[in-house]
């Protein structure tokens, strides 16, 4: 849904791993594959969850059973804050609380502010019908299922983009991150171009994953999707220390490069192999 809405993956907290809705074996953040039930959540994403747990005033739980995963804390925290504000008869309500839409009962139905028993596509259609009553321009027109997402469409500072683009046609950029760890450099806003790291995503360029389940794996850029995202084929050892490796392909979204150019993230998913 976020992809079709042209919503940047950078603003998603895909706590249990990121799935590409068109090809379920690929992700737009190569450092965030789907976490198995026996695995551990990425520390930085879990910290994002805790921050949103503390400040979210309205949570929409759509199509989820809320069966006890760690992310459920986001829903319960908003619901409990809302109910406490009502009980205390606070002058300002603590948001809208929890809204659930699903076909099955959940363990948190008693906490909801609004409960929908419906399929999500039916609910979405009803909401669009309500919005259409507000005026002719309130409902967005349907666009193509696959659009093109160039790096420049996510960078608001055009002069910064120009300064940090080495070769647009070859996908080479300058970013304020360590070439060894992918961690953002100090005082990144004031760094000169000569102090920045070259990020080469041209075809056949070698890169290394910086975090996540496969941190340390190396790969090469093998092309681009129609949407503009980079396809990277990594090699993962069959067992620790083994020379025999299996290839796997991941997708790096263009918005990650845009965020890297602007220094918006703490650590970037990949750096070039020295």
The reply to whether 112 and 66 lie within a common domain is yes
Is residue 50, in this structure, part of any structural domain at all? Answer: no
268 lies in the same domain as 184? yes
Q: Could you tell me if 157 and 138 lie in one domain?
A: no
Q: Are 58 and 95 in contact (CB under 8 A)?
A: yes
- Rounded CA-CA distance 212/34 in Å is 10
Mean pLDDT, the chain, rounded, equals 85
Q: Are residues 169 and 211 in the same domain?
A: yes
Instruction: State mean pLDDT over 93-99.
Output: 83
Evaluate whether residue 209 is within a structural domain.
yes
**What is the domain range of residue 120?**
56-142
Looking at per-residue confidence, does 117 or 243 come out higher?
117
Domain end (from 109, 142, 175): 142
- Do 207 and 116 lie in one domain? The reply is no
Question: Do residues 124 and 161 both lie within one domain?
Answer: no
Q: What is the pTM of this model?
A: 0.69
23 vs 10: CA distance, rounded Å = 19
Query: To the nearest whole percent, how much of the chain has pLDDT over 70?
Result: 85
Number of domains comprising the chain: 2
Lowest mean pLDDT of 44-58, 106-120, 134-148, name the range.
134-148
Mean pLDDT of 63-82: 92
Structural domain contains residue 233: yes
83 occurs within a structural domain? yes
Specify the pLDDT at position 26.
40
Four-CA torsion 7, 13, 16, 22, nearest 10 degrees: 10
180 CB-contact burial (10 Å; exposed 0-12 / middle 13-18 / buried 19+): exposed
**Statement to judge: residues 254 and 234 lie in one domain:** yes
Same domain, 224 and 245: yes
Q: Is residue 263 part of a domain?
A: yes
Beta bridge partners of 59: 98
Give residue 88's pLDDT: 83
Instruction: Judge whether residue 144 has pLDDT over 60.
Output: no
Residues 159 and 244 in one domain: yes
Q: Does 67 map to a domain? A: yes
How big is the chain, counted in residues? 274
Q: Tell me how far CA of residue 63 lies from CA of 12, 131, 269, in angstroms.
A: 17, 22, 29
pLDDT value at residue 41: 79
Backbone angles phi, psi at 10, to 5 degrees: -60, -30
* Residue 121 falls inside a structural domain: yes
Q: How far apart are CA 95 and CA 73, in angstroms?
A: 16
Q: Are residues 182 and 136 in the same domain?
A: no
């Amino acid at each position: 849904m976020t992809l079709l809405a042209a919503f940047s993956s950078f603003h998603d907290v895909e706590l249990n791993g990121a799935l590409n809705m068109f090809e379920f074996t690929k992700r737009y953040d190569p450092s965030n594959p789907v976490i198995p039930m026996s695995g551990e959540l990425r520390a930085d994403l879990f910290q994002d969850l805790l921050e949103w747990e503390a400040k979210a005033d309205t949570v929409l739980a759509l199509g989820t059973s809320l069966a006890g995963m760690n992310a459920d804390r986001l829903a319960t925290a908003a619901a409990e804050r809302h109910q406490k504000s009502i009980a205390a008869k606070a002058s300002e309500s603590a948001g809208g609380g929890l809204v659930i839409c699903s076909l099955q009962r959940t363990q948190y139905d008693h906490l909801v502010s609004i409960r929908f028993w419906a399929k999500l596509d039916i609910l979405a259609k009803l909401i669009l019908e309500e919005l259409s009553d507000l005026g002719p321009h309130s409902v967005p027109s349907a666009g193509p299922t696959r659009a093109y997402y160039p790096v420049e469409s996510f960078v608001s500072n055009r002069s910064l983009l120009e300064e940090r683009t080495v070769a647009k046609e070859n996908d080479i950029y300058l970013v304020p991150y360590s070439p060894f760890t992918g961690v953002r450099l100090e005082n990144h806003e004031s760094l000169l171009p000569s102090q920045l790291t070259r990020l080469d995503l041209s075809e056949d360029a070698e890169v290394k994953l910086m975090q996540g389940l496969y941190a340390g794996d190396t790969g090469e850029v093998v092309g681009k999707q129609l949407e503009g995202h980079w396809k990277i084929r990594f090699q993962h050892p069959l067992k620790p220390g083994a020379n025999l490796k299996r290839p796997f392909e991941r997708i790096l979204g263009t918005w990650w490069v845009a965020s890297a150019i602007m220094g918006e993230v703490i650590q970037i998913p990949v750096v070039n192999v020295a």
